[in-house]
Chain A
Amino acid sequence: MSEKNINLTLNIWRQESPEAKGYFEKFEKEISPDASILEVLDEINNRLEFEGKEPIAFESDCREGICGACGLVINGQPHGPLPKTATCQLHMRNFKDGDTLYIEPFRATAFKILKDLIVDRSGFDKIQVAGGFVSFNTGSAPDGNVILISKEMADQALDAAECIGCGACVAACKNSSAMLFVGAKVSQFALLPQGQPERYERVQAMVKVMDENLFGSCTNTYACEAECPKGISVLNIARMNRDYFMAKLKTGTNE
């Protein structure tokens, strides 16, 4: 709490509506190094509201890096320059006095810009609805530890399940591919016994909806893994590819 305030030039994307033409609005601001980037936006918005102007629209919820709501591109990098950090955890002490920042929404055909920094990520929801679940019959709760799972498998499944669905992978990808997201969602179930009955239907259904929603395909640049705030591994994409081939080879698993 001791460091001096810094002066930054912020170029922030403004766009009235999905159809409107967007532009960068420039703000010169003195900022505490302890503020997070979302707090900087809050401060700017306070001033804008005070002046009777339209505040900057952006999304955020938990502000502790676990909900995936806040997704901004800062100087060309989703969630900014720090690895494995969500936008809300990016503090201004990571920038130097006099720096210029460009703050933009995630850009992809599949993520339509709704307003300013807010994009429509419902494509992810559609993929999830297609297969990102396991089906259970209701009844009394099963006993714990009836189905044994090796530590290694459990670890890998939990690593995949860390995905918060923020969309940074799509935003980072030169093809706007959603494969890291879908790979993680497919893997978290494919690795566990509970996910087996629907394993091959799941991967086919999710990939189909992914393709239908105008996400690109994978060139294996691995930019997604580098920008993912949760460090989801591209290993999950390979697993999805493999399951997809297997599904197509097996009989009775296509719709």
Chain B
Amino acid sequence: MNRLNQFFNSSIGKKLVMAITGIFLILFLVFHLINNLMLFGGPEFFNENVARLDSIKPLIRVMEIILALIFIYHTYTGLKLWWENKKANPEKYAVNANKENSTIYSRTMTITGSLIFIFLVIHLYTIWVKYNFGMEGSEDYFEVIKIHFANPIWAAFYFIIMIFIGFHINHAFQSSFQSLGWSHKKYTPIVKKIGTVIAIILAVGFASIPVYFFYISFGGQG
């Protein structure tokens, strides 16, 4: 136990935690996106699929708990690292030359992460709670989304956060390989590109939903 403790309290151990939990979160996002894109199949198609997931509810509940634990652990460790790193480097230079030596994505991980966290709390409170406890017998899950994004404030909020999720993942994907101890002269540049592609697909994919529903709320053709 002592050995494990020592490992998870070390600077490198904490990064391993970030990398493994982060990769699982990306994996979750991929499945979540596939699920959400079913909205483009229309109300019947989407509602049918949501109802179908109902038949494996116990399994979904278990996965939700695991996901929540992973998410909380990732957030907790991320904020802890941020706090420790701030203590290690409290004073800034007179001239800020950060952009000369690093990317904005890598320097803003705590900010984008925190925004994602705030978003998630709101997102769960509005959509997840509604789906699970607020449907009042209705099975029109599509309608919930439609009404939600007819509000320009919600549509804009989701749209902006999706950009930041893209920022987070753009740095995070390749970073997790490095944290896990895998770096290679030839392959790491390819891993970086794959990370950017994943970040763009996830950001554009998720952002397309509020844009689409906001558009049809004006009577645009769905």
- A residues in contact (CB < 8 Å) with B: 11, 24, 73, 75-77, 81, 102, 104, 107-110, 172-177, 179, 207-208, 210-211, 214-223, 226-227, 234-235, 237-245, 248, 254
Q: Is the interface of B mostly helix, strand, loop or mixed?
A: helix
- B residues in contact (CB < 8 Å) with A: 3, 6-7, 10-16, 81, 84-85, 87-98, 100-103, 106-107, 109, 171, 174-175, 177-185
Q: Kindly list chain A residues whose C-beta atoms are within 8 Å of the C-beta of B109.
A: 219
Across the interface, do B10 and A207 meet the contact criterion of CB distance under 8 Å? yes
Q: Kindly list chain B residues whose C-beta atoms are within 8 Å of the C-beta of A226.
A: 100-102
Q: Kindly list chain A residues whose C-beta atoms are within 8 Å of the C-beta of B93.
A: 73, 76, 102, 104, 107
Across the interface, do B180 and A241 meet the contact criterion of CB distance under 8 Å? yes
A202 to chain B, nearest CB (A): 14
Q: Kindly list chain A residues whose C-beta atoms are within 8 Å of the C-beta of B16.
A: 241, 245
Across the interface, do B87 and A248 meet the contact criterion of CB distance under 8 Å? no
The residue on B at minimum CB distance from A75 is B95
The residue on A at minimum CB distance from B182 is A238
Using a Cβ cutoff of 8 Å, how many contacts connect chains A and B?
A: 142
Across the interface, do A107 and B91 meet the contact criterion of CB distance under 8 Å? yes
Q: A75-B95, A108-B89, A217-B84 are in contact. List 9 more A-B contacts (CB 8 A).
A: A11-B94, A73-B93, A175-B85, A216-B11, A217-B12, A219-B81, A226-B101, A234-B183, A248-B13
A49 to chain B, nearest CB (A): 26
Across the interface, do B11 and A211 meet the contact criterion of CB distance under 8 Å? yes
Across the interface, do A219 and B181 meet the contact criterion of CB distance under 8 Å? no
Across the interface, do B101 and A244 meet the contact criterion of CB distance under 8 Å? no
Across the interface, do A220 and B88 meet the contact criterion of CB distance under 8 Å? no
State A239–B182 Cα separation when bound (angstroms): 7
Cross-chain pairs A/B with CB under 8 angstroms, 26 sampled = A73-B93, A76-B94, A76-B100, A77-B101, A102-B95, A107-B92, A108-B88, A109-B88, A174-B98, A174-B107, A176-B85, A177-B88, A207-B12, A216-B11, A216-B84, A216-B87, A217-B14, A220-B175, A222-B101, A222-B102, A223-B98, A223-B101, A227-B101, A235-B184, A244-B181, A248-B7
Q: Kindly list chain B residues whose C-beta atoms are within 8 Å of the C-beta of A237.
A: 178, 183
